[in-house]
Copies of this chain bind each other. A is one copy, B any other.
Amino acid sequence: MKIALVGANGKLGKAVCEILQANNQVFNIDIDGGDCHCIEETPTLPDVIVDVSCAQQSVCSAALANALGLPIVIGCTGHDSEQLEKIKYVSNSIPVFLAYNMSVGMQIFKNIAEYVCQNFDGDVHIHEIHHRYKKDAPSGTALELEKLLAGGHPTISYARGGNLVGTHEVDFFGENETITLTHTALSRKCFAEGIAKASAWIVNQPNGLYNMKNLIKNSEFSLK
């Protein structure tokens, strides 16, 4: 597959580039100067655009994808409501994959957390741990979990330290028994792997807006 990659110079971008190159032809798109017209200058038209740069740039990439009739995977975060509106609009005409935590394992983790929350009678707590350089707390993923498990009125706590990548834990404290779910990212590569999977998947989807839940949902197994 031929992939145009926007934002390959960031921490995540480098990991994404390495993973994508294993099975694809990757064109790195230079975004110095703030425009991405150079996508049009790739040797041949790519099959999909992957943007891991930043919110503002990704809207621009989405517009270009639309103009070219190409699917796009957006793996950066921090879009405001206006930017999200633009991305949604574009998804009427092309397949758009938008996800904030691109790890396949994290989506599975969210699915089972939601299932336990709805079926197990207990108090819910979310605890997350990240490296000392992470500035926002709680993490965006912890906040997504909080929303997802809102029915269980979760409390939330966090720790920062060392250089570990990131761990999310959800505790369900019942009467006389507890269930604890833990997801540990060992390397940023797990996010890159998710982006690679999303890229391979999105090229076969009809127009629309997709996220990791859609990718997992379409898998064969479901909890009956």
Contacts and interface: CB of A to CB of B under 8 A. Distances in A.
- Secondary structure type dominating chain A contacts: mixed
Contact of A132 (B104, B123, B172, B190): B123
Contact of A159 (B112, B127, B160, B175): B127
B221 A115 contact: yes
A141 interface: no
Interface stretch (A4-12, A26-34, A179-187): A179-187
A129 B122 CA distance: 14
Contact of A183 (B163, B178, B187): B178
Contact of A176 (B120, B186, B219): B186
Interface residues of A, number: 60
B116 A112 contact: yes
B161 A122 contact: yes
Interface string A17-49: 000000000000000000000000000000000
Interface of A: 103-106, 108-109, 111-112, 114-116, 118-125, 127, 129, 132, 155, 157-164, 171-190, 193, 216-217, 219-224
The 10 closest A-B pairs by CB, nearest first: A161-B173, A123-B161, A162-B173, A223-B223, A157-B157, A176-B190, A118-B221, A125-B159, A177-B190, A112-B112
